[in-house]
Chain A
Amino acid sequence: MAVVEEIRPSSDALLKTRQPKRPANMGNYIRWLLLFFGGIAMVTPLAYMISTSLKWPHEVYNLQLIPNEPTIENYTYVLEDGRFYWWFLNSLIIATITTVCNVIFDSLVGYTLCKFRFPGRYIIFIAILSTLMIPTEMLVIPWYLMSQQFGWLDTYWGIMFPGLMTAFGTFLMKQFFETVPDDFIEAARIDGLNELQIWWTVAMPLVKPALAALAIFVFLGNWTAFIWPLIVTNSVDMYTLPVGLSSFGDEADVQWELIMTGAAISTLPTLVVFLIFQRFIIRGVVMAGLKG
């Protein structure tokens, strides 16, 4: 979210440089005002997160943005605490594997549903879509019972398995594969590729922007996932970052300054992921504008 915010002013700037002489009209002022408040709403929590991470414990409930006595003590504490690295690593492993699996499996199923004609195709698609309507809160208990029976509690597999494929990702990929002309696939078929090769060497490169978008969604979704990892993990070593951060402090005393410090550090990978994949998204949009 924060990153999206940072892009917005520059696109505004673009707008201005394109029409330098034209006087701003009322509509533009309203637009800027809306953007301004939108921006404030997005940036404020982020600013408080950083501000709080720089405060001493006794200052946390003092809501001023600039701490009276700024300190990096919290950062030293969190980074010296060995558990933090474990949680960071856990989250990284889980989010990465889940992202890779989603990119492969969602697109494989989406491609099949989109480009092959077989009986029951439509019913399968509807069935997949309908799972979107079931909220996670409802699924948590069956997942837990299943994990318990299979002995997956407190394991990576247990944390990951519900998210290795998503109905949303399948739907997204199916829709994007609709934009790949059948001619490409038929040409490849005549050129002697088998169906799996066609999917991988022809269809996948053509939907790179969608894959990038999916990768961002899935990675961020898993990086910030809280409820399921909280329930399925027991040992502190298996905690993911959000679960671990929430464990700073006990029931009587939540150590907000430490939680915010951990949160500030944990936004870094999301920034990196976004910066890597946004290039593909932008290029994808540019390519879509060209014919052929």
Chain B
Amino acid sequence: MADLIIRDLVKTYDKTEVLHGISLDVKDGEFVVFVGPSGCGKSTTLRLIAGLEDTTSGEIEIGGRVVNNLEPKDRDIAMVFQNYAIYPHMTVRKNIGFGLRSSNKSKAEKEKRIEEVAALLDMTPLLNRKPSQLSGGQRQRVAIGRAMVRDPAVFLFDEPLSNLDAQLRTQMRLEIKKLHQRVGSTIVFVTHDQVEAMTMADRIVIMKDGHIQQVGTPQEVYHKPANTFVARFIGAPSMNMLAGQVKDGAVVLAGGNAVPVPVAVPDGKKVLVGVRPEDLHPEGETSLLEGTVSLAEPLGHETLLYVETPSGEVISKADGRTPPGVGARVALHALKENLHLFDAETEQAIT
């Protein structure tokens, strides 16, 4: 177990720069999740940490040791791949023990370690099976076992759950999190699924186009998004963005409604007011927006309303039992503290 420090990491393929100087400190025992749309550089970052790709510039430090010029096997890391990468021609026991081949432990010690890991993952009865006799979730556990068996300083997970069906994914998510609590190792986890990121991470790193957009706890990135990208990316359905202009210390929206601004913003500045669907309700006294319900999606405990307003279509969450029907005129209400203000030009948060 160890810290992982990344400094000004740059990666170029031929002449295209895909990572533009990334810096990050991962503390010992921390569970860090990289999340972002495809092509944002999150997997590349992971592969650079693993040593599967060469860094163009910048430093990677694991446990106080710069590892840039070390082979993957000498970096004291283990990696779990998206398609598990467990060998179909070997039994589960051999697959798990594969990572121990190069260690200088005695045979009995190795066996003991394999048994330990198998017990930890509830795989003991399956040790002599071949991967083709296992379910998807079991295969994924074998892959995790293979990574665990060497007790590495840092675990790297490259979208390990994307090949599983929805139910299994939720279950494995929980298992990995529990495993982390028990073993307490440093984990870097890459995913494109923001729910996975929110539920598992100690800290989330949100990336886009080779830049880190924000690093923070799930609460921070949800409640205090640094820019409109983070605001839209985290949370489902994503945050409504209402265009407006500052006038006399308040934002005037397209419909003419004014929203008081908590901070000093010069008059005439174009801004975006962000409000999450779950903070925008079709009941209450003072209204932020008025509009007509164009579509309703009942989810049981709540209903998603798609409302046509002067600021465009916005999504609002209504009660699951008595939601306004399609075509109804609604006044949407949000608490002042749940509004987010962004600069319309730079798309950065105004605080």
Contacts and interface: CB of A to CB of B under 8 A. Distances in A.
Interface of A: 181, 183-184, 186-193, 202, 205-206, 208, 287, 290, 292
A192 B76 CA distance: 10
Contacts of B77: 190
B85 A287 contact: no
B82 to A, nearest CB: 7
A191 B102 contact: yes
Interface in B25-62: 50-52
A195 to B, nearest CB: 11
A181 B83 CA distance: 9
Contacts of A206: 87-89
Nearest to B135: A292
Contact of B82 (A183, A184, A189, A192): A183
B16 to A, nearest CB: 16
Contact of A202 (B72, B83, B87, B139): B87
A190 B79 contact: yes
A181 B72 contact: no
B132 A187 contact: no
A189 B83 contact: no
A205 B102 contact: no
A187 B160 CA distance: 13
Contacts of B51: 190
B50 A192 contact: no
A193 B103 CA distance: 11
Contacts of A192: 73, 99, 101-102
Interface residues of B, number: 27
A287 B71 CA distance: 33
B89 A187 contact: no
A187 B102 contact: no
Nearest to B158: A183
8 contacts: A187-B81, A190-B73, A190-B77, A191-B99, A191-B146, A208-B89, A292-B86, A292-B131
Contacts of B52: 186, 189-190
Nearest to A186: B52
A206 B86 CA distance: 11
B101 A191 contact: yes
A190 B85 CA distance: 12
Given A190-B51, A202-B87, A292-B132, 11 more contacts: A183-B81, A183-B83, A183-B85, A189-B71, A189-B73, A190-B72, A190-B78, A192-B102, A205-B89, A292-B83, A292-B86
Nearest to B152: A190
A190 B80 CA distance: 10
A193 B79 contact: no
Nearest to A187: B85
A292 B88 contact: yes
B97 to A, nearest CB: 10
Nearest to A197: B101
Contacts of B229: none
A166 to B, nearest CB: 26
Contacts of A202: 87
B98 interface: yes
Nearest to B84: A292
A183 B159 CA distance: 12
A287 B89 CA distance: 10
A146 B78 CA distance: 52
B132 A287 contact: yes
A206 B136 CA distance: 19
B25 to A, nearest CB: 23
Interface in B138-177: 139, 146
Contacts of A184: 85, 87
A91 B77 CA distance: 52
A264 to B, nearest CB: 38
Contacts of B81: 183, 186-187
Contacts of B82: 183
Contacts of B132: 287, 290, 292
Given A181-B85, A183-B83, A292 B73 contact: no
Contacts of B78: 190
Nearest to A190: B72
B87 A191 contact: no
A78 B132 CA distance: 50
Contacts of A183: 81-85
A117 to B, nearest CB: 11
Given A186-B81, A191-B101, A192-B73, A205 B139 contact: no
Contacts of B89: 205-206, 208
A271 to B, nearest CB: 27
Given A186-B81, A190-B50, A191-B101, A205 B87 contact: yes
A189 B87 contact: no
A184 B89 CA distance: 12
